Amino acid sequence: MEISSLKLKNYRNFADYEINFNSVGALISGKNGVGKTNLLEAIAYFAFGKSFNTNQDEELINFSKAFFHISAKFNLKNRVYQFDVGCDKNRKNIKIDGKNISKISELYQFLKIIYFSPNDIRIIDGSPSLRRIFINQATAQYSFNYLDSLRRYKHILKQRNSILKTNFDTSEKKIWDQQFFKSAIEIIKIRIDYLQKFSPILAEKYFQISGEREKLKTKYLFSFPQKLESIEENFSEQMKKNEHQEKIQQRSLIGPHLDDIDFEIDDKSARKYASQGQKRSLAIAVRFVQADLILKKGNEPPILMFDDVLADLDRDRVGEIIQMLEKNHQIFIATPNATIYQNYELPIVKLEGFSE
């Protein structure tokens, strides 16, 4: 998988910009503020239908303009696809080969892009909601059908919470309870299955980055106690115990919408005890594992995008991470300090003359 060309119109600080890319990728260099991150953000937009940096599309429109339009050609499974995104302050339109897509989630079937961001450290030390966003996105990139399961669960959760806010009919609530139970267990099991593939590879990657000094474990943290034999038994038991309290609080008190993940370095929670360097190294390793699993499942290497993520790491860790970069991926690296990557052969794209 690779991107061969990109056109930007009124996108961020790019009023009118066009570029062709080498199949190996590019080292995007330039001073801070010239638009390196914006260029990566635009490429990633085609995979997710949104920006990594804002949920408001209108913030992506060049100052004083009424719209933005971005287009790109991607080579995927020996075929060239044309992607177009047009957006004004009222609506967004995404096309693949000239045809409108009905749901943004359709993009997950086509493009696989792994975006390494400085903000990824929040996967390790941020709120549980950020780790849920990560596990949902990673699982969806690995298995497109997960999106339908997740969408169904969110709908059922919303309906069940609405009922809990009323003087509900017991028989009606029982119907939603049954659907909630089934959908919640489905989501949890898909996540656990993904983590069972993910965790051992992550342990290997992090062990390598740490110079073979630190051991890592990944745990799925349930929102309910695990005392009985099966997940189903524990979930059902806790639902019964929560009935009174849920009526008082008017919301569902257990479920995958409240679950979490914990990363442990040498048996200590990375969120609580790891150094900044350890957290950054772990966040980078997490993204590498995402890429590995996508490649192993589909035999199509995802595009890797690094947004100046190595700047704060020591030389040894940087060296180990650079060694992990495999040549079969198209790789984009944005950095103001190109010398860090001088031993990694990438064509240089130097951005000049742009201002945000």
Convert the pLDDT of each residue in 135-151 to its tens digit. Answer: 999 999 999 999 999 99
Q: Confirm if 333 and 346 have CB atoms less than 8 A apart.
A: yes
Calculate mean pLDDT across residues 157-185. Answer: 96
Burial class from Cβ neighbours inside 10 Å (0-12, 13-18, 19+) for residue 262 reads: middle
Q: Confirm if 2 and 74 have CB atoms less than 8 A apart.
A: yes
Calculate mean pLDDT across residues 108-120. Answer: 93
pLDDT single digits (tens) 11-47: 999 999 999 999 999 999 998 889 999 999 999 999 9
Burial class from Cβ neighbours inside 10 Å (0-12, 13-18, 19+) for residue 321 reads: buried
Neighbouring CB atoms inside 10 A of 156's CB total 21
Residue 300 has pLDDT above 90, yes or no: no
Which residues are paired to 260 by β-bridges?
A: 221
Residue 132 has pLDDT above 80, yes or no: yes
pLDDT single digits (tens) 224-248: 999 998 999 999 999 999 999 999 9
Residue 356: its pLDDT value, please? Answer: 42
Residue 355: its pLDDT value, please? Answer: 47
Residue 185 has pLDDT above 60, yes or no: yes
Least confident of 47-61, 69-83, 282-296, 337-351: 337-351
Q: Which numeric CATH code is attached to 1-112+302-356?
A: 3.40.50.300
pLDDT single digits (tens) 210-223: 989 999 999 999 99
**pLDDT-derived band of residue 163, with 50, 70 and 90 as boundaries?**
very high
Calculate mean pLDDT across residues 290-319. Answer: 88
Residue 353: its pLDDT value, please? Answer: 60
Distance between CA atoms of residues 113 and 302, nearest Å:
5
Which residues are paired to 325 by β-bridges?
A: none
Give which of 78, 77, 71 is closest to 97, Cα–Cα.
71
**pLDDT-derived band of residue 354, with 50, 70 and 90 as boundaries?**
low
Distance between CA atoms of residues 91 and 317, nearest Å:
44
pTM, two decimals, is: 0.91
Assigned CATH topology for domain 118-299: Glutathione S-transferase Yfyf (Class Pi); Chain A, domain 2 (1.20.1050)
Segments of 149-301 assigned E as strands: 216-221, 260-265, 268-269
What DSSP line would sit under 46-108, residue for residue? Answer: HHHSS-SS-S-GGGGBPTT-SEEEEEEEEEETTEEEEEEEEEESS-EEEEETTEE-S-GGGHH
**Structure token digits, residue 281:** 């190294």
In the chain, where are the structural domains located?
1-112+302-356, 118-299
Q: Confirm if 213 and 289 have CB atoms less than 8 A apart.
A: no
Mean pLDDT of the chain: 93
